[in-house]
A and B are shown apart, each in its own frame.
Chain A
Amino acid sequence: MKNYMDWIRTDYFPTAFCAGCGHGIILKAIAKALTELEFKREEVVFVSGIGCSGWIPSPYIKADSIHTTHGRALAFATGVKLARPDLTVIVVGGDGDIASIGGNHLIHAARRNIDITCIMADNNNYGMTGGQYSPTTPQGAKTTTSRKGHVEPPFDVAYMVKAAGASYVARYTVAHFPQLVNAIKKAITTPGFSFVQAISSCPTHFGRRNISQDPYEYLDYLKKNSVNIKNVKETDEIRNKITIGEF
């Protein structure tokens, strides 16, 4: 397929995403990566869980997709991969989906280093259920379940996945589109478990309470607040920044 739009199920448009939701950018990044890697439709299968993020592949990517239960996509994907090792298996989920309820599956998929690519669309909160805090919600951030500021520290999911044994780990934001596409391509082509933490935007919930409800201002914030891990040494310096790059 020559055009990334060949990978998108436009007959299901308009998407269910809110206007300005970063998940649409991740959808395009995946479609571009598949196009540039010259995949055939029957070679790739998507598995997703429950959340706005689960809708990125199901139904919007035109390939086989299994839209599963909340948090369990990696477990379903493991069965698909073991039964059909020749297929390229890609999991897409949210920060709640992949890192909270599905956290144990994530750790063990990384430890097994099974040849699956996992893309975590991380909007720092539970978008679908109305903006509750998630494992990646920054301390102090306001969500519907942390109205006075979140008390818990967040989870550095990329570091955890790397430590657990994954082959390839990268983190970029939806404001870093070319890097994101590249990371997804590398993730898919690297044998073993690959993890791409795609920092997404949720203007409707997280943005409104913490950054901005305006999609452009949100992207601008992500861009300005990101530093490449290659350029930083001190943890203090990056405490309030989004560290991006390959881990």
Chain B
Amino acid sequence: MPWKRIKLPIKPGRFLVQGDEAVADGAFCAGMRFYAGYPITPASEVITRVQERFEESGEGVYFQGEDEIASIAACIGASWTGVKAMTATSGPGFDLMVENLGYAIFTETPLVIVDVQRAGPSTGQAARPSQGDYHQVRYATHGDYEIIVLTPWSCQELFEFGIRAFNLAERYRVPVIILTDEAVGHLREPVVYPEEIDVFDREHDPDAPPFSFDERDAGPMPLIGDGKALLITGSTHTEAGKRVTQDPEIHRKIVKHLIGKIQHNVSDIFESHEEFIEDAEIVIASYGISARSGFEAVKRLREKGLKVGFFRFKVIWPLWEKYVRERLSGIKKIFVPEMNAGHLSRELERLVNGEVISISELGTNIITPETIVKEVEARL
């Protein structure tokens, strides 16, 4: 089994850790031994921590690329040699990575990208949080595909998702994005590092073809250096990697595989955090930093005797539509606080039968519990 339980390679215990550092630590514990990135606020602290971990352990290679395009490209190249690779960036850098993100998706390359969101478009406000990249991370590159995006709400979760992101990337041979924001990335909180963790290492099979058309799962992965004259290409290919750029049937098979290997396993990938849903008449649904205020608002509204439930997306993509529809069916009103023009609320509108009410923050302020409580009371 490619799953294994390992002793934490860093000191276990309870520490005060910054979000950006926590995600670097989680990734390191999961086995990340290649890092490439380009400096950008508010993600720059990630490479600093990675460098520290590599230096103290004597393992791993990090590289500051000439830009974000080079950084993600180097990660993909490294990943095909069998090493777990990561990069971290923010909006403008993510924009530059998009073409090669598509390459990683199409070539089924395990890879982790941390996107510490800042306010955009363009340079925007570098050191202020936002959740404006909700749909960008899903639909950034051209063509049809599925991708995995995790949305932590705390430093603890940044550590844990650093591990889970690699487990999912290796398991499904797909780039996994950890979508956080300046507020959580720059937050300092106590984080518990456990004694042991479970990690998944990709199934390496030197004799396997590099690609698969299986509509239900990812295939094993041969590596550069196996001596099998691998053909890896971002052009439409056969399972053996032969370029076939005029055959509609082959292209259809690949896209079905890219979507199928994720969608078929959506119940394994999707994760939510739910409280008081059973008797809820209204629900506050959110993710990331906004969900922290949302949860506080739920508690305050419950104290006032209102039947309010809490639904937090720990994974925003793939969206397990069937599950969300079922869990939120019969809920009369769903309030969705988020620091954007209403991205999650737009997704929920097409899934649920109740009224979806967006609580949107377009400046760069974190939505407060007071704002949410007021909004809910006004709209009851």
Contact = CB atoms under 8 A, between A and B. Distances in A.
Interface of A: 9, 12, 40-42, 45, 47, 58-59, 62-69, 72, 75-80, 82-84, 87, 104-105, 107-108
Contacts of A12: 242
Interface stretch (B126-134, B224-232, B254-262): B224-232
B88 interface: no
Interface string B259-276: 000000000000000000
A24 to B, nearest CB: 17
Contact of B242 (A59, A66, A68, A79): A59
Contacts of B243: 58-59, 67
Contact of B103 (A63, A69, A78): A69
In the A-B complex, the 4 residue pairs with the smallest Cβ-Cβ separation, listed nearest first, are: A79-B77, A42-B227, A79-B74, A75-B73
A64 B229 contact: yes
A66 B80 contact: yes
Interface in B39-80: 61, 63, 65-67, 69-71, 73-80
Interface residues of B, number: 40
A42 B222 CA distance: 13
Interface in B60-109: 61, 63, 65-67, 69-71, 73-83, 85, 99-100, 103
Contacts of A41: 227, 229
A79 B66 contact: no
B41 to A, nearest CB: 22
B34 interface: yes
Contacts of A40: 227
A83 B83 contact: yes
Contact of A58 (B36, B80, B233): B233
A42 B225 contact: yes
Given A67-B231, A67-B232, A84-B81, A108 B66 contact: yes
Main secondary structure of the interface of B (DSSP, over half): mixed
Contacts of B368: none
Given A76-B76, A78-B77, A83-B61, A65 B100 contact: no
Contacts of A104: 66-67, 70
A69 B225 contact: no
A72 B78 contact: no
A67 B232 CA distance: 6
Contacts of B65: 75, 78
A84 B34 CA distance: 11
12 contacts: A59-B241, A59-B243, A69-B100, A72-B100, A75-B65, A75-B70, A76-B74, A78-B65, A78-B70, A79-B63, A83-B82, A104-B70
A69 B81 CA distance: 18
A112 to B, nearest CB: 9
A80 B231 contact: no
Contacts of B66: 104-105, 107-108
Contacts of B371: none
B230 A64 contact: yes
Given A40-B227, A65-B231, A75-B74, 19 more contacts: A9-B229, A41-B227, A42-B225, A45-B224, A59-B242, A62-B229, A64-B225, A65-B230, A66-B233, A67-B231, A67-B235, A72-B69, A75-B65, A75-B73, A79-B36, A80-B81, A83-B77, A84-B224, A105-B70
B253 to A, nearest CB: 19
Interface in B104-154: none
Contacts, number: 118
Interface of B: 34, 36, 61, 63, 65-67, 69-71, 73-83, 85, 99-100, 103, 224-235, 241-243
Contacts of A82: 34, 61, 63, 74, 78
B34 A83 contact: yes
B78 A83 contact: yes
A72 B72 CA distance: 10
Contact of A77 (B61, B77, B242): B77
Nearest to B233: A67
A74 B234 CA distance: 16
A114 to B, nearest CB: 10
A220 B229 CA distance: 35
Contacts of B232: 64-67
Contact of A80 (B78, B226, B229, B241): B78
A105 B72 CA distance: 13
Given A12-B242, A80-B80, A45 B225 contact: yes
Contacts of B230: 64-65
Nearest to B107: A66
A156 B331 CA distance: 68
* Most chain A beta-carbon contacts within 10 A, residue among B36, B74, B83, B228: B74
Contacts of A58: 231, 233, 243
Nearest to B243: A59
